[in-house]
């Protein structure tokens, strides 16, 4: 049985390499149906893992993913995924159904927008298009739950390439949703011709990107997840998703009951003593959560070990990332920057680096610090993220006596 499975993977890998080399998809489709007909999504994901290990660039695998699906589509179309209400996959599938409806309605507006010659011609359509884009902005919560709750568990089971590809596509969707929303908001400043062309470009991209993305998730990612993730882990994923929150359009009956995981009871070990004082564990944790910054600690092996939990986080964090390599916590397009920062910290080239971005109307300051022991040995990296919008407004002085 294992020899048969190995032969199937070998032939599938050869077919993907042939596509990479320029073979015609229609020829590969017939060959695939003839030789491998019943190949499953997990086998496809495993083959992609092996191709990455053999040196094929991840971006090339991702570029070919659409071709793979066009070739393998008939074999991938299995019976409908079965998961009960309240199961993470059930929730994600229900959200897919609703987002598809939003996208289909956006698609219905494209012809009228294309044929319009002035704002008046589509004036009645624009408010509804704006509402639909609002729904797609809310769909961000769906993507965040996948990235922070589901993907880490797939990675623990060795399924790393499909989540990486899906995360890349999330980034593309985010960009198109943002650009379409900004185009609609700034329509009068752009002038009608520029407005129409920009809006059409971004809406067409969304109408293509989102359904194709869902197809990949429903025929490769989700079936692979159901095959490798066990029941206790699904409960942990559901609890993590409950913490991160759902879209306002997610049906309550799909979400089901909130999962409360049993907390580990550990023996009180008394005070933690430092060179400059001491405190008990509860005090230390409360203090870290009170700091006006979000902090995350990555150890010397690049593994996420801790993050603080202030009342309002700037960026979402789920407990599922504990034990995850930090490289897996970033979109693929920025991983090389993370690698460079860590390399500079480890070899002593830098002790810190900083960035600042606009998050809506807020100014966010992101700093990374090399954590070293007294002898200067690298122990890990600390990320500190802070909203400095109000700090930037400070002028003059306010002394203690002015309280």
Query: For residue 37, what are its two tokens?
Result: 């007909």
In a domain, 402, yes or no: no
Distance CA 37, CA 19 (A): 17
In a domain, 147, yes or no: yes
Residue 286 and residue 251 share a domain: no
In a domain, 399, yes or no: no
Q: Which of 49, 76, 103 is where one domain is finished? A: 76
Residue 242 and residue 303 share a domain: no
| Helices 58-76, 41-53: crossing angle, 10 deg rounding | 160
Question: What is the predicted pLDDT for the residue at 262?
Answer: 72
Going by the DSSP 8-state scheme, the letter that residue 267 receives in this structure is -
In a domain, 27, yes or no: yes
Residue 299 and residue 366 share a domain: yes
Give ∠ CA 83-85-86 in degrees, rounded to 5: 105
Residue 327 and residue 302 share a domain: yes
CA distances from 16 to 52, 76, 197, 392 (A): 12, 15, 36, 53
Going by the DSSP 8-state scheme, the letter that residue 143 receives in this structure is H
Note down the domain range covering 306: 271-393
Residue 92 and residue 239 share a domain: yes
Residue 68 and residue 96 share a domain: no
Query: What is the phi-psi region of residue 277: left when phi exceeds 0, alpha when psi lies from -120 to 50, beta otherwise?
Result: left
**Cβ burial 301-334 (10 Å sphere, 16+ → b, else e):** ebebeebbeeeeebebbbbbbeebbbbbbeebee
273 beta partners? 278
Q: Which of 194, 224, 255 is where one domain is finished? A: 255
Element (H, E) at 306: strand 304-307
Residue 374 and residue 308 share a domain: yes
Question: What is the predicted pLDDT for the residue at 66?
Answer: 58
Cβ atoms of 148 and 320 within 8 Å: the answer is: yes
Going by the DSSP 8-state scheme, the letter that residue 367 receives in this structure is E
Structural domain count of the chain: 3
Residue 112 and residue 244 share a domain: yes
Going by the DSSP 8-state scheme, the letter that residue 325 receives in this structure is B
Question: What is the predicted pLDDT for the residue at 222?
Answer: 94
Cβ atoms of 271 and 278 within 8 Å: the answer is: yes
Residue 115 and residue 21 share a domain: no
Residue 294 and residue 218 share a domain: no
Domain at 211, CATH number: 1.20.120.520
For the chain, how many helices (H) and strands (E)? 16, 7
In a domain, 260, yes or no: no
pLDDT averaged over consecutive 10-residue blocks of the chain (403 residues)? Answer: 54 71 70 60 68 68 58 56 94 98 97 94 95 98 97 92 90 96 94 95 97 90 93 96 96 95 59 88 93 96 95 88 91 90 96 94 96 96 96 90 74
Residue 326 and residue 204 share a domain: no
In a domain, 47, yes or no: yes
CA distances from 176 to 48, 68, 234, 357 (A): 27, 24, 32, 19
Question: What is the predicted pLDDT for the residue at 1?
Answer: 37
Question: What is the predicted pLDDT for the residue at 67?
Answer: 58
Domain at 291, CATH number: 3.30.450.20
Residue 211 and residue 134 share a domain: yes
Distance CA 56, CA 17 (A): 9
Q: Which of 76, 108, 142 is where one domain is finished? A: 76
Question: Which residues lie below 8 Å from residue 306, measured CB to CB, with a gap of 6+?
Answer: 296, 297, 322
- Give the count of beta carbons closer than 10 Å to the beta carbon of residue 92: 25
In a domain, 377, yes or no: yes
Distance CA 320, CA 387 (A): 25
In a domain, 316, yes or no: yes
Going by the DSSP 8-state scheme, the letter that residue 63 receives in this structure is H
């Amino acid at each position: 049985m294992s020899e048969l499975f190995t032969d199937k993977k070998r032939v599938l890998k050869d077919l993907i390499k042939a596509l990479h080399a320029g073979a015609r998809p229609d020829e590969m489709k017939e060959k695939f149906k003839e030789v491998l007909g019943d190949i499953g999504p997990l086998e496809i994901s495993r083959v992609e893992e092996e191709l990455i290990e053999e040196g094929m660039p991840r971006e090339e695998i991702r570029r070919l993913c659409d071709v793979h699906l066009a070739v393998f589509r008939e074999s991938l179309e299995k019976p409908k995924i079965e998961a009960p209400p309240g199961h993470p996959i059930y929730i994600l599938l229900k959200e897919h159904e609703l987002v598809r409806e939003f996208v289909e309605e956006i698609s219905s507006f494209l012809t009228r927008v294309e044929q319009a010659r002035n704002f008046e011609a589509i004036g009645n359509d624009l408010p509804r298009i704006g509402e639909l884009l609002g729904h797609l902005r809310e769909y961000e919560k769906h993507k965040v739950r996948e990235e922070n709750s589901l993907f880490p568990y797939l990675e623990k089971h060795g399924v790393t390439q499909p989540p990486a590809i899906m995360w890349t596509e999330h980034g593309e969707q985010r960009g198109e949703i943002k650009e379409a929303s900004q185009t609609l908001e700034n329509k009068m400043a752009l002038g009608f011709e520029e407005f129409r062309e920009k809006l059409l470009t971004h809406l067409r991209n969304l109408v293509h990107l989102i359904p194709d993305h869902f197809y990949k998730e429903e025929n490769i990612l989700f079936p692979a997840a159901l095959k490798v993730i066990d029941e206790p882990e699904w409960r942990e994923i559901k609890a993590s998703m409950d913490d991160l929150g759902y879209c306002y359009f997610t049906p309550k009956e799909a979400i089901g009951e909130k999962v409360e995981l049993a907390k580990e009871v550990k023996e009180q070990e008394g005070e933690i003593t430092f060179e400059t004082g001491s405190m008990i564990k509860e005090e230390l944790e409360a203090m870290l959560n009170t700091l006006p910054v979000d902090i995350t600690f990555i150890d010397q092996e690049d593994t996420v070990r801790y993050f603080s939990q202030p009342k309002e986080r700037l960026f979402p964090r789920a407990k599922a990332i504990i034990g995850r390599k930090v490289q897996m916590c970033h979109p693929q397009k920025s991983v090389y920057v993370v690698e460079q920062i860590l390399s500079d910290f480890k070899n002593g080239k830098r002790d810190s680096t900083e960035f600042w971005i606009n998050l809506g109307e807020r100014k966010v300051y992101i700093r990374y610090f090399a954590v070293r022991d007294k002898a200067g040995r690298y122990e890990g990296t600390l990320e500190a993220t802070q909203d400095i919008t109000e700090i930037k407004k400070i002028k003059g002085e306010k002394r203690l006596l002015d309280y």
